[in-house]
Structure 1
Amino acid sequence: MTVHPTTPRRHRILALALTAALGVTLSACAATAAPAHPRSPLAELARQAVDAGVPGVIVRVDDGHHPLTIADQAPWSMADHRLTAGDGFRMGSNTKTMVATLVLQLVAEHRLALTDPVERWLPGLVPNGSAITVRMLLDHTSGLANYLYTPAVLAAFTGQDAHRWTPDELLAAGTAQPALFAPGARFSYSNTNYIALGLILQKATGQSLGDLIQQRIAGPLHLHDTHLPTTGTADPHLAHGYEPDAAHLAPLLPQGTPPGTSFAGPHRGPADVDTTVVNQSTLWAAGGIVSTAEDWARFDSALLSGKLLPAAQLAEMRTTVPEDPDTPNGDGYGLGLRKVVLPCGTVWGHDGQAAGYSSETYTDGSGTRTVAVLTATVFDLARPQAAAAHRALVDAAVCAMFDRPLPAAPSPSAR
């Protein structure tokens, strides 16, 4: 899943779905990582994010020489879990990059084609499926509506409904809504595309999506802490995620959200609920993978350096469509891979959200340098102070990845 309630760059799923449907610890935990000094600029920015209302944050930066890791959390969250930089994390829509990698591996093996119509693989399941191609699913130009627009799915996503959704049910929920536009006409981010791709992968291989991830990516890359959960049981090594409680969430929701919309979970701290064990069945191929900052860096590095895909398929993956038609040279979406333009340079990767979890994971164009900022909330970041602190942290982490100073902000007269 990707859920961005704050800035124009961060606008993915839940805010749209809701509108439509309704300083404490610091640790370096990787044995090979150089520990972050408590007074380092990134550590100070992480502390500022926590002080601004972020329940917990993990930062990992690798400039190609010495990885640096940081974990910081609010005091009230310590009773649930002592956060470390090696903790598991719900990666949300970063999952899409792994799913797209699997699809392109099959393309390279001539078991799938980007031009294949969806109807070939999922007959009768997707309206107008003969006009929607695998490529359109990958780059979100299919026109399929987002299944999170369905109130029943949204209720499960927020933990208010315990029904465990199957992939077929999620696809049906998305395709029951009117198409947004003709196939291929433009870009519109929709989780429904990746549920369809997960089902296509299973149909083409006869294997489960979780097994494909393990056999083709996690196993070969020795990603020992990366998997697609099949049950709702929380891993004890999973970082805890939090969202504002009902009273504090209401002012942060988009206009038009039905009254009473809230996340389920036990109250924690002054204004949050623990969403760690909220119903995860709405995620699957669109956002269900659990991983760590170090594992995901290894994946991003392997992908962009050409270890997982032949050159032709990697080039296809990096062929983007503008996410905003008014800024064609800005952020772009490829085949499960985002191009993001940040102050210190252009990066490749993805971002993701699940209830209680936000993440941004990026690498440079060669896969040499990587960065991950994992935050234990989504909607606590909707508060202006927290949003600004988080943005400053991400930008500074990317600059550190490139070994560059953060560019000075323009003076008010220059804006």
Structure 2
Amino acid sequence: MSEPRKRPSPVRFSAVLAAIVAVVLTGCTAAPPAPVQVTRATVTYRTILAEFSKRMLDLGATAVLIEARIDGETFSSAGGVRSLETSAPAEVTDPVHVASVTKSMVAVSVLKLVEEGIIRLQDPVGRHLPEFDSLMKPPGPVTVEHLLRHTSGMPNYHDPQLTSRTLQQALTQPITAEEILALTASVPWVLTPGGGMQYANANYIALGLMVQRLRGQPIAEVLRSDTIEPLKLTGTHLTGPGPAPATMVHGYITIDGVRVDTTYLAGLIGDTAAGLVSTVGDLNTFYAALMDGRLLKPATVKEMLLAPEGYGLGLERWGDACEGGFYYGHPGDTAGYGTMALTTPDARRQLTINLAYPPGPLNLTPYAPSNELAWEVLRIARKALDSTC
């Protein structure tokens, strides 16, 4: 039987809701300040996000953290608690596991190697990771670009991982990149390289191992020097052996009816497909910097955005109803947590949502999110941004 769940505190939207009606600047000057205009679009997107937060908390979500940056103005909210054990209120600056958003940051480090002339996108992976071909036995040449775009045809490794150990062991036991690739190699290839898009974490596990070898330092250090430190992303790092940051929001699942804390799981240590820890503000800053050329050259970013099958070089894309173009970013979904980070190409409209799911059993269906609420996070993020025009 699961432990009785402590009720998350209600989302703290009093100031936000007041701002939706009228935002007033206060100060100590003699003359009263002029009111700030609140547009219908502002009211709409903030209401969408407020209602979503309340609904998730009513379902039992541990925390809902949101930051939107719209035309130079920032809106943020935090609801729920950091931990069901302590009930300390969650803050918008609290970090969470952001899962596959990791891929965008790893892609930046790969593309920096391309810009420096150390590798090329069309290079065979085996040229830089010699054991790749002998271990994986691909049905055709696999290039760096294939890995970045998920067009290598590699399968997912989750089925052999879960048949070789219990779910509890898979979550709590460390696993190396080499071990993950070995598990992947035990499953038949899904497609021939270049034969189509098939999303698989193993692509980015191989990329992370390749970057680490070429840079000669741990991948966590590479991400720090390439992106985290230059952008001053103080709430962001790759999961390590612990302990978790004191302000981290805890995630939970249930296994056989027993609640399990999924914060800082050993299975995510150094994971270059899903191991990143970050905040809503840091993710918005990261994607804005990526789009405006602070991390990579404009020509490189342009190539990242090319996504004929919906996935570019470490970025996904979705239709933008406001401008007829696309939103770019990445979803994240792992045990206990869901994330959605979206930006327009000019970073004029951005939104990141971090959710600590209501505790429940993992969905272990292949190629499906661990929690069906992941689809709802994406739907609401797009709906909110679509309402800002």
TM-score range, shorter chain: 0.7 to 0.9
**Structure 2 counterpart of 1:18:** none
Find the aligned partners of 1:75 and 1:290 in 2 and give their Cα distance. 15
Pick aligned residue for 2:72 from 60, 65, 80: 65
Find the aligned partners of 2:16 and 2:305 in 1 and give their Cα distance. 33
Per the TM alignment, residue 398 of structure 1 is displaced from its structure 2 partner at its CA by 2.0
Pick aligned residue for 1:88 from 95, 110, 120: 95
**Structure 2 counterpart of 1:26:** 11
Preserved CA contact (<8 Å) 2:61 2:358: no
Preserved CA contact (<8 Å) 1:228 1:290: yes
Find the aligned partners of 1:78 and 1:163 in 2 and give their Cα distance. 23
Question: Compared with structure 1, are the counterparts of its residues 35 and 304 closer, same or farther at alpha carbon in structure 2 (3 Å cutoff)?
Answer: farther
Per the TM alignment, residue 225 of structure 1 is displaced from its structure 2 partner at its CA by 1.3
Pick aligned residue for 1:98 from 93, 100, 105: 105
Per the TM alignment, residue 67 of structure 1 is displaced from its structure 2 partner at its CA by 0.8
Matched, 1:334 2:312: yes
Cα deviation, 1:299-325, whole Å, max 9, x if unaligned, reads 000001121111221122111132xxx
Question: Compared with structure 1, are the counterparts of its residues 220 and 62 closer, same or farther at alpha carbon in structure 2 (3 Å cutoff)?
Answer: same
Matched, 1:167 2:145: no
Matched, 1:321 2:277: no
Find the aligned partners of 2:343 and 2:155 in 1 and give their Cα distance. 30
Per the TM alignment, residue 157 of structure 1 is displaced from its structure 2 partner at its CA by 6.4
Find the aligned partners of 1:36 and 1:78 in 2 and give their Cα distance. 28
SS of the residue 2:267 aligns to: coil
Cα deviation, 1:264-287, whole Å, max 9, x if unaligned, reads xx63xxxxx432243333761001
SS of the residue 2:78 aligns to: strand
Matched, 1:398 2:374: no
Preserved CA contact (<8 Å) 2:240 2:270: no
Per the TM alignment, residue 379 of structure 1 is displaced from its structure 2 partner at its CA by 7.5
Question: Compared with structure 1, are the counterparts of its residues 310 and 35 closer, same or farther at alpha carbon in structure 2 (3 Å cutoff)?
Answer: farther
Cα deviation, 1:178-208, whole Å, max 9, x if unaligned, reads 1111111011000000010001101211121
Preserved CA contact (<8 Å) 1:114 1:135: yes
Cα deviation, 1:332-373, whole Å, max 9, x if unaligned, reads 100110011265563100011221111000110112321101
Question: Compared with structure 1, are the counterparts of its residues 136 and 397 closer, same or farther at alpha carbon in structure 2 (3 Å cutoff)?
Answer: same
Identity %: 30
**Consecutive unaligned residues in structure 2, runs of 5 or more:** 1-7, 21-45, 364-369
**Structure 1 counterpart of 2:26:** none
**Structure 2 counterpart of 1:289:** 276
Matched, 1:299 2:286: yes
Pick aligned residue for 1:375 from 352, 355, 379: 355
Question: Compared with structure 1, are the counterparts of its residues 312 and 342 closer, same or farther at alpha carbon in structure 2 (3 Å cutoff)?
Answer: closer
Per the TM alignment, residue 84 of structure 1 is displaced from its structure 2 partner at its CA by 1.1
Pick aligned residue for 2:267 from 280, 294, 316: 280
What amino acid maps onto 2:58 in structure 1? D
**Consecutive unaligned residues in structure 1, runs of 5 or more:** 1-22, 29-33, 248-265, 268-272, 323-331, 405-415
Question: Compared with structure 1, are the counterparts of its residues 45 and 177 closer, same or farther at alpha carbon in structure 2 (3 Å cutoff)?
Answer: closer
**Structure 2 counterpart of 1:44:** 51
SS of the residue 1:67 aligns to: strand
Question: Compared with structure 1, are the counterparts of its residues 78 and 230 closer, same or farther at alpha carbon in structure 2 (3 Å cutoff)?
Answer: closer
**Structure 2 counterpart of 1:150:** 160
**Structure 2 counterpart of 1:212:** 222
Preserved CA contact (<8 Å) 1:158 1:278: no
Q: TM-score, normalised by structure 1?
A: 0.74
Preserved CA contact (<8 Å) 2:149 2:197: yes
SS of the residue 2:132 aligns to: coil
**Structure 2 counterpart of 1:364:** 344
What amino acid maps onto 1:114 in structure 2? L
Find the aligned partners of 1:353 and 1:148 in 2 and give their Cα distance. 14
Preserved CA contact (<8 Å) 1:316 1:335: yes
Question: Compared with structure 1, are the counterparts of its residues 308 and 76 closer, same or farther at alpha carbon in structure 2 (3 Å cutoff)?
Answer: closer
Find the aligned partners of 2:215 and 2:15 in 1 and give their Cα distance. 43
Question: Compared with structure 1, are the counterparts of its residues 35 and 150 closer, same or farther at alpha carbon in structure 2 (3 Å cutoff)?
Answer: farther
Preserved CA contact (<8 Å) 1:145 1:174: yes
RMSD: 3.1
SS of the residue 2:237 aligns to: coil
What amino acid maps onto 1:279 in structure 2? A
Per the TM alignment, residue 102 of structure 1 is displaced from its structure 2 partner at its CA by 0.7
Question: Compared with structure 1, are the counterparts of its residues 54 and 162 closer, same or farther at alpha carbon in structure 2 (3 Å cutoff)?
Answer: closer
What amino acid maps onto 1:347 in structure 2? Y
Preserved CA contact (<8 Å) 1:86 1:292: yes
| Number of residue pairs matched by the alignment | 343
Find the aligned partners of 1:313 and 1:379 in 2 and give their Cα distance. 40
Structure with max Cα Rg = 2
**Structure 2 counterpart of 1:408:** none
Find the aligned partners of 1:134 and 1:385 in 2 and give their Cα distance. 32
Question: Compared with structure 1, are the counterparts of its residues 185 and 396 closer, same or farther at alpha carbon in structure 2 (3 Å cutoff)?
Answer: closer
Find the aligned partners of 1:371 and 1:199 in 2 and give their Cα distance. 30
**Structure 2 counterpart of 1:14:** none
Matched, 1:125 2:110: no
Preserved CA contact (<8 Å) 2:70 2:350: yes
Preserved CA contact (<8 Å) 1:27 1:85: no
